[in-house]
Amino acid sequence: MASGGGKLAALALLGLLGCVVRTCEASYGHHSPLLPSPSPPPGPTSPPAVLAVGHYNQTCYQAERIVRAAVKKAVYANRGIAAGLIRLFFHDCFVRGCDASILLDETHANPLPEKLGRPNYRSLRGFEVIDQAKMALERKCQGVVSCADIIAFAARDATVLLSNGTVQFDMPSGRFDGRVSLASETLPNLPSPFADLTTLRTLFESKGLSLDDMVTLSGAHTVGITHCSSFADRLPRNASDPLAMHSTLAGSLIKKCRSGSSTVDHDLKTPGDLDSQYYKNVLDGKVLLKSDAALMSSSETAAKVRFHAYYPWVWAGRFKAAMVKMGGIEVKTSANGEIRKQCRFVNAPTIERVYVLSADT
């Protein structure tokens, strides 16, 4: 009996080491001295994820209300946080799908998670709002609501608040949280502010989003801020460039950025409101980023820009649908995800999981 128990313990230990060495799970809530290696993407045997409106009605009926309360509290204190939450959702979904991998902190096991990737480092906002919502949810419904769904709900609620109630919609839920987060995957998967239209179109299509979705979601740049370095390639203004920035705007930005200010509002007319002003700015050459100006480089996308500028209520409807569609990118299931206890760390492996892994080796 003693030798049998020793063998079982040895198997469990080997399984634990195998779990750590073979995967690149970001962290277990504590540090590990072993560096991770990238894990392969989920195989085709993983069941398809099914999202549904009201997913938590039976298991945590207050879930969406709790998230909404956390978002409102934060936005009323600082309206800029709302734009940050929408961007957080976007940056989460475009890298490994909508699985809250953007929330994972650095650890010894994974010193470079997504949030430290070049497009994200010191530019993302809203992490504390997600933390507050998660803590409140764990008090009411422990181990039920995923961090991925909290991000999605928060982005929806931020949209409602920034649009002053104009853009309201239901956000399907049922996502599981991912266990992998790699800074190296951010640059290849997130749109660059310096990207041309072909690059943008290819990237969005790789995520299952259409050209219309791309133009529609670009409208989120009617809120939020950007760094001067993100549009430095457009200053000073090149008068021979058909996509050049409006001369008056270019002149004011040169002065502002040289004055020591490192950030500028995307939309100088209605910076605090999610509306269709963005499309008017694109038409007038009054957008900051090359990737925004690029929408006028094709007759097809230029026509969509004009349409959204003239029919803002149509854009609002399409924006709702595009947000929901984006929220379905590469969603995790119980087969390849988990419900994190803390949004900044993956869960510690259980003894049962360790034994199963060791038995499979």
Residues marked active site are found at 91
DSSP string, 189-232: HS--TT--HHHHHHHHHHTT--HHHHHHHHGGGGSSEEEGGGSG
3-class state of residue 52 by DSSP = strand
3-class state of residue 106 by DSSP = coil
Residue 360's contacts (CB-CB under 8 Å, 6 or more residues apart) are none
How far apart (Å, rounded) are the C-alpha atoms in residues 209 and 18?
37
What's at 126, amino acid-wise?
Answer: G
CB-CB contact of 221 with 289 (8 Å): yes
Half-sphere exposure of 276 (CA within 13 A, CB side): 21
User: Hey, how many other C-beta atoms are within 10 angstroms of the C-beta on 235?
Assistant: 17
CB-CB contact of 57 with 179 (8 Å): no
CA dihedral 227, 228, 234, 238 (to 10 degrees): 150
The pair of three-digit structure tokens given for residue 329, joined into one six-digit string: 């990118």
